[in-house]
Chains A and B, each alone.
Chain A
Amino acid sequence: MTLNQLTETQAGVIKQINDESLAIQLLAMGFILGEEIKVERIAPLGDPILITSGTNYISIRKSDAQQIEIKL
């Protein structure tokens, strides 16, 4: 399952990030493999989305969210 399939306020655990440069970027922004990730909000037009992990709070486009594999 990938992150873009979650609805607002749904959470999961980050399993793997398929795109390497995205993985490096997200890790540095505090989105660490094995930790919880939550969809806080989906933008009014359906994209991008706001996600959190711990106190890290970022926006990301759905196409990138599709690269993030999670388990519920």
Chain B
Amino acid sequence: MYGKGLRALSISTVAVMSVALGLVFFWVPLEAEQGFLQKIFYVHVPLAIVSLCGFVAGGIFAIQHLRTREQKWDFRSYVAIHTSLIFGVATLITGSIWAKGSWGHWWVWDEPTLVSFLIVFLLYATYQPLRFAIEDPERQARYASVFAVTAGAFVPLNFVAVRASTAYVHPRVLGATSNLPWQMSLTFLVSLLGMALLFTTLCKYELTAKHTRAQLRALMRLAERRAGASTSAPPQRGRSAAPSLHATAMTANPSEGRAR
């Protein structure tokens, strides 16, 4: 049952996001150099961090899928990467807006952090077409998992490579070089928590919706079979990038759903 705890999670997300917005606009002091423009930092950086963590989580779920061959891990990997892509789009747009306000350009090609994020985003943008190109669901899940593991390993490597580069044009937020005042650090951490909760909530909504749809389809097939409409023909599945969820896989261990 993917919908378990969804209401509490949604309420916590709204509460933390509201607190974060209150802190950003009414409490945290203005930054000396950028002034009001620096408020974008509290939305752009958490979006980027959560997006990258989501890509890595997709890779971890994919490892689980390759180890156990259980469909649910492929399903989770797909949803994590799918949601991370949406967060990635938001990161790129908010980053562009910040760059325009701060540097006077929508995009700067000689800034390693920007370009590396774009590379990661474009890499993951091929994930959906890759899935769509493979019709056999088993093969699709396996290939997608291999892709998610490889790309997921690339994300932290890329992050370390950018950090090790000499150009420090992009401000550092986390680590020993961070010199944020405590009010800014606290606001940033609340924003990061809010964004992480938003990511988790959206993932859970997606998982619940897709799972419910799969269950309904399975029920419809059962009803059709009982009515004698299709006694021997296997269920037809159109080509899709989304993982296929079989009713047998979902109902094989109903107690597991309750424990989750």
Question: A and B: partners?
Answer: no
Residue numbers of A with Cβ under 8 A of B are: none
Residue numbers of B with Cβ under 8 A of A are: none
